[in-house]
Amino acid sequence: MSVRGTGSGAGGQKIAARNRKARHEFEVLETFEAGIELKGPEVKSIRSGHVSFHDAHGRVESGEVWLYSLHISPYEQANRFNVDPLRPRRLLLNKNEIRRISSKVGEKGLTLVPLEIYFVRGYAKVSLGLARGRKLHDKREQLKRRQQDKDASIEVKRVMETR
């Protein structure tokens, strides 16, 4: 579920981990950027790419947004300072963003899904997607459409080369 990223994204972002299954399993309607409240060893573990997004999701509870089931492996050199790898982590968002997210999550079938974790100027950020789950036939249609686009671009390249 996670990919170790070494390259820089747009705007000086260093992508540490990406939830590749999220865009396949869910239809992302809107995205938000949030800071993550982390302990020291967790930051080092994220920098080395030891993150798993399996079943990770966000919830709004009493005016705060929390990220659950995000597995950040313990940093080996931290010894006794390591924390529970699956502990809930508070997300740092603006009050207006939290209100907007909580009203939309209240709608039927919408959930908060972490899309990627990256660093901006040394601060860990998470990209959250407000998403609706896809049905099996939707996933198949998406794969079919992607394959058709790929085949079409290959055909266009082949025709352009023959000219």
Class of domain 13-134: mainly beta
pLDDT per residue over 95-130, tens digit each? Answer: 999 988 888 888 777 889 999 999 998 888 999 998
Return d(Cα 134, Cα 142) in angstroms, integer. Answer: 10
Give mean pLDDT, residues 27-46: 86
CB 124 within 8 A of CB 43: yes
Using the predicted structure, report yes or no on whether residue 1 has a pLDDT greater than 50. no
Q: Where are the beta strands (DSSP E) in 101-157?
A: 110-120, 123-133
Query: Nearest to residue 78, comparing CAs of 46, 52, 124?
Result: 46
pLDDT per residue over 125-152, tens digit each? Answer: 999 998 888 777 777 888 888 899 999 9
